Structure 1
Amino acid sequence: MMQGLMPQSHPLRRMPALRTIGALIFREMSTSYGKSPGGFIWTVLEPVGGIALLTVIFSLAVRVPPIGSSFALFYASGLLPFMMFLDISRKIAQSLSFSKQLLFYPGVTFVDAIIARFVLACMIHALVFVIVVSGIIYYDNIELILDLPKVVLAFLMSAGLALGVGCMNCFLMRRFPVWANVWAIITRPLFLLSCIFISFESIPMPFRDYLWFNPLIHIVGTSRSGFYSTYRAGYVEPLYVALLAAVLFGAGLALLTKWHRDLAQR
């Protein structure tokens, strides 16, 4: 009724995809955070609990963190973008499964489902970042000079890589179900191989050269250089992460475009 009264030039008539994505975002919020006990609170408590546990463990082993004076801030600067990558890539990979029934409607495409999950996850992690870092600064009474552009760049790198990996995994996990188990095995040691609780410079050669090809090393290094003005992170190469993310995203999107109808029926 209201759509019939709208003029042809009305923005809502010209942008049906945005309305679809908006509806999918609200559905995601209701499904992911509205039905479980605690809802969004657990999204915040997970990184807080991880940072607190690591802080206690490593503060007993060594007197000062590799950079700065706050264990919590050092680990948060690496853990938050790392967890963002894992969470967003996982949610993108599950896009077809999560919105399987809706994909049969002519107004909903698999791209809409991916964009909706991606946008909401980025918003959630941005909010988690603000809450966690603000809490650490207040609790440890830190006088922090934050290089915001570098921190934003780190989170953009993390989000972009997660989108690329998620799109590729979205195809692989639906086309080859065993890939979900293989991917779980591959990602298990990433926490140790991404310099979350150590600095990249402390890794002996030649292992350091091999680890350089892990894109998460560059994301964590960029994030840390935004938190610590004296940390240069000369090994970081954002272009490498961007190219890798673009290749994975393009390949994943092309495969999904060709196979998404068959995959949605599985």
Structure 2
Amino acid sequence: MTQLPALKPLRPAQRPQLRWRGARSVIALILREMSTSYGRSPGGYLWAVLQPLAMIAMLTLAFSVLLRSPSLGTSFLLFYATGFLVLRMFQEVHAAVSWAIGGNQSLLAYPGVTYVDALLARGILAILTQLMVSGIVFWIIFTIEDIRVIMDFVPILQAFGGVVLLSMGVGTFNAYMSFSFPVYKTVWSIATRPLMLVSGIFYIYEDLPLFAQNILWFNPLIHLGGVMRTGFYASYDPSYISMTYVCIVGAVPMFFGVLLLRRYAKDILYK
């Protein structure tokens, strides 16, 4: 009597791996942030462009009365834009990342959403928005004043890359600090109010007296503003810039921010 071949035990159906679950979560959060941040207000993205444009126009109107010409070139609009847009991108990206956990705490209860997804979603949306705003503002300035310059895109991209690293790094650290210590948000807001005056928007580093240069050198935004301006002004060759310093100031808080968020992830989830 012939024996039938032994049947292999059936394995339970394996659940397909969700390799792109993290990417889908980030994309979904970006779409949610777009609708909540820009979809509910009249004008939406239009205000994101008009606000910096209005600020640059006000600066131009105020200082053109007092000064015959800016520190570089002949266009007040372009000079202030190259400094102000660097500061604004830092402020917007940093703020978006800093308050990402508090604004998405209810979503972190879902198993497919992590604090990393929340930080990346807000950071990516803010970065893309500010890059778009900067491009539109520069295009408007070049069109209005009929400016003809040969731009060097290498330092311009370096400046934007440095702003991204700096704002994401500081924002990641502040995301933990502001959520764990609510008073930290108020303290940080007060401490950073003078940034408009000390980030090289109205002047260049070389115009300052020596004692002011020695102090403001430690502000990474003044380095990034200088890098940005070298891309628009071929004759400007600053010697004070240190991108290594900027990268360190951005990388160190990012390291400790990620370390703290990972260490206290469960406390954040159930707080």
Task: Please classify the TM superposition score into its range, dividing by the shorter chain length.
Answer: over 0.9
Q: Secondary structure at the match of 2:264?
A: helix
Report the counterpart of residue 140 of structure 2 in structure 1. Answer: 135
Q: 1:161 aligns with which of 149, 160, 166?
A: 166
Which secondary structure state, in structure 1, belongs to the residue aligned with residue 174 of structure 2?
Answer: helix
Determine the structure 2 residue equivalent to 1:191. 196
- Residue 107 of structure 2 is aligned to residue 92 of structure 1: no
Q: CA deviation at 1:263?
A: 2.7
Count of residues in Structure 1 that have an aligned counterpart in Structure 2: 257
> 1:105-120 to 2 correspondence within 5 Å?
105-120=110-125
Match of 1:254 among 255, 259, 270: 259
SS of corresponding position for 1:230: coil
Amino acid at match of 2:52: P
2:37 to 32, 38, 41: 32
Do residues 70 (structure 1) and 75 (structure 2) align?
yes
Distance 1:125 1:62 in 2: 29
Cα deviation digits, residues 160-218 of structure 1 (max 9, x gap) = 10001101111111111111111111110011111111111011012201110111111
- Cα distance between partner residues in 1 of 2:119 and 2:136: 26
What are the superposed Cα offsets for residues 92-113 of structure 1, whole Å, 9 maximum, x if unpaired?
A: 0011011111100001000011
Q: CA RMSD in A?
A: 1.3
What residue is the counterpart of 1:172 in the other structure? Answer: 177
Distance 2:100 2:266 in 1: 13
Query: SS where residue 206 of structure 1 aligns?
Result: helix
The 8 Å contact of residues 137 and 144 in structure 1, kept in 2 or not, is answered as: no
- Which digits, 9 at most, give the CA deviation of each residue in 1:204-256, with x for residues without a partner? 01220111011111111111111111111211111111111111100011111
Note if 1:101 corresponds to 2:106. yes
**Where does the alignment leave 5 or more consecutive residues of structure 1 unmatched?**
1-6
Separation (CA, whole Å) in 2 of partners of 1:211 and 1:160: 20
1:181 paired with 2:186, answer: yes
1:15 and 2:20 equivalent? yes
Per the TM alignment, residue 40 of structure 1 is displaced from its structure 2 partner at its CA by 0.7
**Structure 1 letter corresponding to 2:54:** G
2:231 aligned counterpart, secondary structure? helix
TM-score under structure 1 length normalisation = 0.94
CA distance in 2, matches of 1:44, 1:159: 19
> Within 2, Cα distance between the matches of 1:91 and 1:8?
34
CA offset at residue 265 of structure 1? 4.0
Change (3 A) 1:8 1:173: closer
The match for 1:124 is 129
Task: Tell me how far 1:14 sits from its aligned partner.
Answer: 2.1
CA drift of 1:264 comes to: 4.0
